[in-house]
Amino acid sequence: MSFFNNMAALGFTDMIRKSVLDGFSSTVSVPSILLSIGIAFLTGLFILIIYRLTFKGISFNRSFEGTLLMISAISSLIVLTISSNLALSLGMVGALSIIRFRTAIKEASDTAFMFWAVAAGITAGAGRYVLTIVGSLLIGLLTYISLKIISKTAASYLLIVRAKNDIALGYSGRMLTENGIRHRLSSMTENERHFEVIYEISMGSSQQKLVSALKKIPDITDVTLVDCRNTPV
């Protein structure tokens, strides 16, 4: 009876071993390497285009743009290596687990684009080309639409108004109220040279019109509008 139990246990062990090893291919053909890395690189290029179309900063970070292209291709190369050999996959997972990246990313959206590039590289390296292409196109479309909608919503600013007297400052506050601009008094300064008031305001477009209208008020000498969003104008 124990003999049959040992045979059954051995058969079960062999079945598990075979199912695990069947998931790995001993060789990776050159066409599959070229196809996986090529699709990953083209997908990374598409991600870069979406990043540029939705970027709201002053200047592009060229190194980050190059990183997006490299991450997608490198991720596909890693997955190709992992899928070819069990020992290599265990060793690479162990090596990658001790790597720590110290580079600070300023914008949260940049982190999302990096994860997108990694995901595209992983799916391309795994041979899921349709998933890579269709998924990236869908994510790109949704990202473009959502970020464009967000960029058109009201943004927060600091409005700094300087005047020769407090009467002019009162006019500026009434102008904000009459135009339906949400505002809150942040600080008020009075000295021998001028009167100064700082408002926290929320508005969409027409920033230039607001500054010009305030500047036309008599006795107002200076009007400054400072962007308070996370990304620069």
Reported as a single tens digit per residue, the pLDDT across 84-137 is 655 555 555 555 555 555 556 666 778 888 889 989 988 988 888 999 999 999
Residue 12 covered by a domain: no
Residue 14: inside a domain, yes or no?
no
55 plus 114 within the same structural domain: yes
Contacts 24+ apart (CB under 8 A), 87-91: 89/24
Print the domain residue range for 52: 28-151
Residue 23 belongs to a domain: no
Examine the domain organization and report whether 34 and 144 are in the same domain. Answer: yes
Residue 232 lies in a domain: no
Same structural domain for residues 76 and 145? yes
Q: At what angle do helices 207-215 and 166-178 cross, to 10 degrees?
A: 150
Domain identity same for 204 and 175: yes
Identify whether residues 66 and 132 lie together within a single domain: yes
Both 43 and 118 in a single domain?
yes
The answer to the question of residue 19 being in a domain is no
pLDDT for the residue numbered 94: 54
pLDDT 10s digits, 75-88 = 888 888 777 655 55
**CATH number, residue 173:** 3.30.70.260
Q: Where does a domain end: 95, 117, 151? A: 151
Last residue of a domain, one of 105, 126, 151: 151
Residues 76 and 179 in one domain: no
> What is the structure's pLDDT at 97?
54
Domain membership of residue 194 (yes or no) is: yes
Of the three residues 94, 121, 151, the one that is the final residue of a domain is: 151
Same domain, 53 and 145: yes
User: Per the structure, how many domains does the chain have?
Assistant: 2
- The confidence band for 39, taking pLDDT boundaries of 50, 70 and 90, is very high
Residues 170 and 217 in one domain: yes
Of 81 and 143, the one with more pLDDT: 143
Nearest to 79 by CA among 118, 39, 31, 137: 118
90-100: pLDDT as tens digits = 555 555 555 55
Whether 10 is in a domain gets the answer no
Helix axis angle for 62-82 and 86-97, nearest 10°, is 140
Asked if residue 147 and residue 185 are part of one domain, the reply reads: no
pTM of the model: 0.59
**Does 103 share its domain with 172?**
no
Asked whether residue 5 is domain-assigned, the answer is no
Q: In what order do the strands lie in the sheet containing 155-163?
A: 182-190, 195-203, 155-163, 220-227
Q: Are residues 168 and 57 in the same domain?
A: no
